[in-house]
Structure 1
Amino acid sequence: MDRDPDLSYSDRFGRRNMEYISLGCDNLPILHGRSPIQAYADFVRNFRDTFRPFLGSIVTGIQVGLGPGGELRYPSYPTQKLTWARQSGELGEFQCYDKYMLASLNAHAWKRGMHEWTNAGPIGSSNLMQNPENTDFFRTDGSWKTPYGEFFLEWYSGMLLLHGERICKEVKAIFHGIEVSMSGKVGGIYWHYGTQSHPSELTAGYYNTSTRDGFLPIARMFGRYGFSICCACLEMQDSEGQQMNATSSPEGFLKQLLLAARVCDIPLEGENSATNFDDTLFQQVLKTSKFYSDGPRTPPFSFNFVRMDKNLFEYHNWASFTRFMRQMSDVNSFQGKLGFGGDTTLSSPSAAAYSGAVVA
């Protein structure tokens, strides 16, 4: 990237993000004669060969990196700033200004016979921190609804979907015949879900608006390759998000994503976004689990409790956690015991077939 800065994403201000190679050069031989997709496939193949004795026994699931922070999205917000973006309600920036993305946009516009659309991304998306209703592109009657807006957003989201498809296809072939589950992660971007245009989702590459389902195509893509879909923020409530931003709706975002997964009959893997041990968090996860799992023949649901620390083992936190595990597993004999100054014991029968919790 030092030799060719255009390998990294760039926004309209020329700010570059070095977190991930621009998907505009997915199939170009820019890495000593190999494409980024070929290099990633070699890495995955080496992982498979190195850990083959453990695959299917100790290693039973693999989450495939698809973008910044491992998620299938553009770095419209740097990963290290995602918490700030949620709190401040940033709109994000379209990441289409490196020469490879611009070349793709140019070719797509010429193919459509719209030569005037070849130069750059949307005009009028304005500043990161601005109210979307004060922008020409994102406001309720903005240019996101015009033929140009639809053209650009279809191309921008389509490039992201194609990137995910390329990686999933390679990984499926590499692990063919090996008993491991595979999953891909979608970014939990919900802080403008209550608007018409959903600007923070659009800049991340999800063409999801009040009139268009942007998550169903992603779920279908994962389903074609036997992948589960993973997302975070399962503990988030609208009341919490709306304290910082009135248009935030983590519950609305999750409900739509869960419905897309159910329609496509693919398993769902959930994670928490924050480290919190109160019953409110756990009850929200249970509520989400029940919403997804209700009904006959629903795909499996699992919850991965991440960001553990020593506070988990404080008496009240441990009591809440073991109660949550018992409810997730639906096993009455689950017992957790914490003895200060003595041994800690935890025992449980196997979890229910379609619902479970994982500690990481």
Structure 2
Amino acid sequence: MLLCLFTQTCTYRLEGREAVSLPLWILEIGHLNKDIYYQDQNGFYNDDCLTLGVDERPLFSGRTALQCYEDFMFSFVNKFEPFMGTLIEEICVGLGPCGELRYPAHPFVDGKWRFPGIGEFQCYDKYMMEDLKMAACQEGKPHWGNQGPQNAGCYNSCPSGAPFFEEGQDGFLSDYGHFFLEWYSDRLLRHADAVLAKAANMLEKYQENEQSSVLLVVKIGMIYWWYQTESHPAELTAGYYNTAVRDGYDHLALILSHHGAALQISCFEMMDNETPPTSLCSPEGLLQQIRTVSKKRIIHLTGRNTYERFDKAGLWQIHANCYHPQAEAVRSFTYFRMNDKTFKVENWNNFVPFVRKMSTDM
């Protein structure tokens, strides 16, 4: 089985290393117009990713970003048509940084962000700000469209140092807080819906035969730090409007269900008791929340690990999460990743029985 990843609107990075950059002709346009990229509150542009604000803007030789992505997907499907549904069984549609549906709120490559910082909202380019102003006017609060939250801290802030993520009158629970977070997350969901509609339409003919079908897959970032707070700030800056009082993944699961897409998530090897207690992490809690949503909306889950694990505890945690007793087994699991360490005697002796167990149970 071969899993393919589409990515044209973002540089694809693997553990901080540049793997696939944006096309040169897009970079040339970006050199003349920086606003095709995301911008943070301090005016720094992230030239790894096209902003969602250009989805419908004909800035690319008369084409919109969505039209360019559609052209790319069509070219791929046409070129590899003989292998679709046989060798190629899954296609992951890249929707953001590292192929994940999220904003680049935690840019680790240039050192701006370090774990467990809450990250920053990425909505200050010209096109996103125009969209925000329009939404604010429709809400009858035009002044809400002048800027994003001004009390949301910076990349490496903790929630306690950012009033927007606390429960005061200027916080995330305020009318303004709800408006902004709804708009910010909705732009991400609209992007996913638009791209998936095009991808699903192209792959429709490969869905007719269950024996040779192609599964459409969407990746999301598993933002598990500060999950045990009320506001879940690191998720909010990434575009997931998920808090202690609001499920931020249900609407996404509904969109995936509509397009017949599966959801790929990571953290399968992680345990809460292995995370820093001061960062109020809960990879297990987040995984359980998404597992519940996927069951409710009847979508497949596919999984992978976040960090290399060769120890028995980590490998069997992966198995336990793939075959959770109160949920359907994941459709597929990608081990991330084999390298020289795999073949060290102790690691190999743990890895072989793990693979046998996984392949027997799948």
Q: Which TM-score applies when normalising by structure 1?
A: 0.87
Specify the alignment match of 1:3 in structure 2.
32
What amino acid is the match of 1:99?
Answer: K
The structure-2 alpha-carbon separation of the partners of 1:82 and 1:277, relative to structure 1 and needing over 3 Å to count, comes to: farther
Q: CA deviation at 1:232?
A: 1.4
Match of 1:186 among 210, 217, 220: 220
Q: CA deviation at 1:300?
A: 4.5
Separation of aligned partners in 1, 2:227 and 2:122: 20
Report whether the alignment pairs 1:195 with 2:223.
Answer: no
Separation of aligned partners in 2, 1:182 and 1:131: 36
Report whether the alignment pairs 1:267 with 2:300.
Answer: yes
Specify the alignment match of 1:325 in structure 2.
355
Q: CA deviation at 1:240?
A: 1.6
Separation of aligned partners in 2, 1:81 and 1:202: 21
Specify the alignment match of 1:338 in structure 2.
none
Separation of aligned partners in 2, 1:140 and 1:239: 27
* Aligned 8 A contact 2:119 2:157 in 1: no
Report whether the alignment pairs 1:294 with 2:322.
Answer: no
Match of 2:31, SS? coil
- The structure number with the bigger radius of gyration is 1
Match of 1:237 among 254, 271, 291: 271
The structure-2 alpha-carbon separation of the partners of 1:68 and 1:191, relative to structure 1 and needing over 3 Å to count, comes to: same
The number of residues matched between the two structures is 326
Match of 1:170 among 198, 212, 220: 198
Q: CA deviation at 1:299?
A: 6.5
Separation of aligned partners in 1, 2:130 and 2:79: 38
Separation of aligned partners in 2, 1:327 and 1:82: 40
Match of 1:176, SS? helix
* Aligned 8 A contact 1:262 1:299 in 2: no
Specify the alignment match of 1:221 in structure 2.
255
Match of 2:88, SS? coil
* Aligned 8 A contact 2:113 2:156 in 1: no
Match of 2:119 among 83, 92, 115: 92
- After superposition, what is the alpha-carbon deviation per residue over 1:253-308, rounded to whole angstroms, capped at 9, x for unaligned? 111111111111111111111112111111211221232x635xx37432110221
The structure-2 alpha-carbon separation of the partners of 1:83 and 1:234, relative to structure 1 and needing over 3 Å to count, comes to: farther
What amino acid is the match of 2:135?
Answer: H
Separation of aligned partners in 1, 2:266 and 2:330: 16
Match of 2:165, SS? coil
Specify the alignment match of 2:128 in structure 1.
101
Specify the alignment match of 1:65 in structure 2.
94
Show the 5 A alignment for 1:1-360.
1-78=30-107, 80=109, 85=114, 88-141=115-168, 143-178=171-206, 179-242=213-276, 245-291=278-324, 294=326, 298=328, 300-329=330-359, 331=360, 352=361, 356=362
Separation of aligned partners in 2, 1:321 and 1:219: 33
* Aligned 8 A contact 2:38 2:47 in 1: yes
Sequence identity of aligned pairs in percent? Answer: 37
What amino acid is the match of 1:209?
Answer: T
Q: Which TM-score applies when normalising by structure 2?
A: 0.86
Separation of aligned partners in 1, 2:77 and 2:84: 8
The structure-2 alpha-carbon separation of the partners of 1:222 and 1:273, relative to structure 1 and needing over 3 Å to count, comes to: same
Unaligned runs of 5+ in 2: 1-29, 207-212
- After superposition, what is the alpha-carbon deviation per residue over 1:7-47, rounded to whole angstroms, capped at 9, x for unaligned? 00001000111111100110111100100000001001000
The structure-2 alpha-carbon separation of the partners of 1:81 and 1:216, relative to structure 1 and needing over 3 Å to count, comes to: farther
Match of 1:270, SS? strand
The structure-2 alpha-carbon separation of the partners of 1:81 and 1:284, relative to structure 1 and needing over 3 Å to count, comes to: farther
Unaligned runs of 5+ in 1: 332-351
Q: CA deviation at 1:316?
A: 2.3
The structure-2 alpha-carbon separation of the partners of 1:250 and 1:300, relative to structure 1 and needing over 3 Å to count, comes to: closer
The structure-2 alpha-carbon separation of the partners of 1:294 and 1:81, relative to structure 1 and needing over 3 Å to count, comes to: farther
* Aligned 8 A contact 1:76 1:204 in 2: yes
Match of 1:19, SS? strand
Separation of aligned partners in 2, 1:67 and 1:186: 9
* Aligned 8 A contact 1:261 1:268 in 2: yes
* Aligned 8 A contact 1:242 1:249 in 2: no
